[in-house]
Amino acid sequence: MNLITRAFRSKGVIRLLSVPALIVVVVFFVLPCIVLILESFGWPEWSFSGYAKDLIDPTIATVMLRTFGISAAVTAIALVISFPYAYLMTQVSARTRIIMIAIVLIPFWTSLLARTFAWMVIFQANGPLQSLLGFFGIQSEPVLGTATGVLIAMVQVLLPFMILPLYSSLSGIDPNYLRAAAALGANGIQTFFKVYAPLALGGVAAGTMLVFIMSLGFYITPRIIGSPQQAMIGQIIAMRVDKFLDFGGAGVLSMLLVLAFLVTMLVLGGIVLIARRFKTTWK
C-alpha cells in the first residue's frame, strides 16, 4: 500500500495515468471530428460549395431555427420544473431525499428508446392520455405528431440533466446566508433574488447548458413523437448519412450547428456582460 502511494506521488506516473483517457479522446473524438470537418470541405478537394448551398437553403434555415427554438423551450421548461424539485431535495430528510433521487435516476437509467416508445403509446390516438382527458370530460386531439408531444417527451428525457447539477449546486448553499439575509431585514423574494439565486447560478448555468446542448442534437424523440413538421436538424443529418451516404453534407450541417451554437453563446455572453456593466454603473 505504502509502495503504491509512493509510486503515485511521483508526478510522471500521475501524468501517465491520463494517457489512456487521452488516447480515447483523440482516437474516438478528435480524429473523427477532423475527418468530419475535412469532408465538409469536400476533402480531398477543397470547396465551400456545400456550405454555400446550405446557407442559402430556406428549409435548412427553417429547421435550424426550429431546432434552436425547441431546444430553448425544452431548456426553459426543464429549468422551471427542476428548480423547485432540486430545492425541495435540499430541504427534506435524508430518507426522503434518497426517494427523490431515485425518482430522478430510475428513468435516467432506462433506455432513451424505451422511454420514447412509451411516450408514443401514451400519446397515440385513443391512447391512455386521450382516455384520461376524456374521463374528465376534455375532448382533445391526439398529442402524437405534435410539437406539444415532442416538448413533453424531450423535457422528461432531459430532466435528470437539469435536476442533478442544480441539486449539487443548491445543496452547497449555506443556509446561514439565508438566515443572515432574513436577519438583515430582507423578505422572502429579496432573499431569493439577491442571495439564493446568485449562489445557485453555477448549477443553473451547468444544467441549462447540458440540456440545451443535448437538445440540439436530439434525433430519435422528435423523429418518433413528432411529425415531419417537427423535424430537427439531427434528422436531416441522419438522412444525408443514411440515405445519400453524403458524409460531407452531413459534416457541413454538423459544423453549421456547432457554429450557430457558438454564435448564440457569444451573443448571450455579450448580453450578460453588457447587463453587468450597466448594473455596476447604476450602483
Partner 1 sequence: MRKRVVLTALLTVSALALVGCSQGGSSGDGEGGSGDTTELVFSGWGGLVDETLTKTAFEPFTEDTGISVLLDSPLSSAKLKSMVESNNTTWDLTMANPVETTRYCEELYEPVDMTNINEDDFAPGTITKCGIPNNYYSTAMVYDKDVFGANPPTTLADFFDTEKFPGKRLFPSDALEFALEFALIADGVKPEELYPLDVDRALAKLDTIKSDLVFWQLGDEQTQPMEAKAVTMGIAWTGRGLQVAQNGGSFDVAWGTHIIGATQFAIPKGTKNFDAAMSLVEFATSPEPQARMNELMAYSAANLNAKPKLDEVQQHWDPLVGGASFDVAFLPDYDYWAENLEEIQTAYSNWAIG
The residue ranges that bind partner 1 (CB under 8 A) are 20-21, 23-24, 28, 58-59, 62-63, 120, 124-127, 142, 144-145, 223, 227-229, 231, 235-236, 239, 241-247
User: Of the two residues 144 and 151, which places its CB atom closer to partner 1 in the complex?
Assistant: 144
Q: Which residues contact 50 (CB under 8 A, 6 or more apart)?
A: 40, 41, 42, 248, 249, 251, 252
Which three three-digit cell numbers place residue 26? 483523440
N-term to C-term CA, the chain: 58
Minimum CB distance to partner 1, residue 89 (Å): 18
Minimum CB distance to partner 1, residue 210 (Å): 17
User: Of the two residues 87 and 117, which places its CB atom closer to partner 1 in the complex?
Assistant: 117
User: Of the two residues 208 and 222, which places its CB atom closer to partner 1 in the complex?
Assistant: 222
Minimum CB distance to partner 1, residue 81 (Å): 26
Minimum CB distance to partner 1, residue 239 (Å): 6
Minimum CB distance to partner 1, residue 220 (Å): 12
User: Of the two residues 119 and 196, which places its CB atom closer to partner 1 in the complex?
Assistant: 119
Q: Which residues contact 168 (CB under 8 A, 6 or more apart)?
A: 203
Q: Which residues contact 101 (CB under 8 A, 6 or more apart)?
A: 89
User: Of the two residues 83 and 218, which places its CB atom closer to partner 1 in the complex?
Assistant: 218
Minimum CB distance to partner 1, residue 59 (Å): 4
Where are the alpha helices (H) located in the chain, listed in sequence order? 2-9, 11-17, 19-25, 31-40, 49-55, 58-91, 94-109, 112-123, 128-135, 147-170, 175-183, 188-190, 197-216, 220-225, 233-242, 247-282
User: Of the two residues 9 and 243, which places its CB atom closer to partner 1 in the complex?
Assistant: 243
The DSSP-derived string for 193-262 is IIIIHHHHHHHHHHHHHHHHHHHHT--HHHHHHS-GGG--HHHHHHHHHHTS--HHHHHHHHHHHHHHHH
